[in-house]
Amino acid sequence: MRLAENARPQSTLRRGAPRGFTLLEMMIVIAIITILVSIGAMQYQKVVLRSREAVLHQDLFVMRKAIQDFTGDTESAPQSLDDLVDKKYLGEIPVDPITRTKDWNPVTCDTVLDAEQVAGGICDVHSASDQVSPFEGTPYSTW
């Protein structure tokens, strides 16, 4: 029996030619990919939370500066955060990045912050969230 030049015996096709991946190899690759994706997702969530905290710090700084400027310029503290927007000390009341709403907790003080101040009003502002920062270990409402 004579074989054609390009033909191989049937026994070499089964042993020598790789035909694909085994189920075990595929399961190992899928498990490794799953582990890497879950680690990446956890890191992504931490980065997002850290960026929200940075925005919260910046928003509080800006609003507190606006309260001080308003009090120094008008010789009376603002009675609401809307007063800061009306007098153009803020473009708009920022959204709390933790609660994702404009619900801030303004602190009203009867004491005067400046010698020329004639009336009390808002002297500080805090986040309305009672969540605790996993990075700083303090509630956002105390920042």
Evaluate whether 78 touches 41 at the Cβ level (below 8 Å): no
Q: Of 25-34, 47-56, 78-87, 119-128, which gets the smallest average pLDDT?
A: 119-128
Percent of the chain residues topping a pLDDT of 70: 83
Q: What are phi and psi of 126, to 5 degrees?
A: -135, 165
pLDDT on residue 74: 86
Residues 118-130 have pLDDT tens digits of 777 899 999 999 9
Task: Identify the pLDDT of residue 119.
Answer: 73
Long-range contacts of 137-141 (CB under 8 A, 24+ apart): 140/53, 140/56, 140/98, 141/105
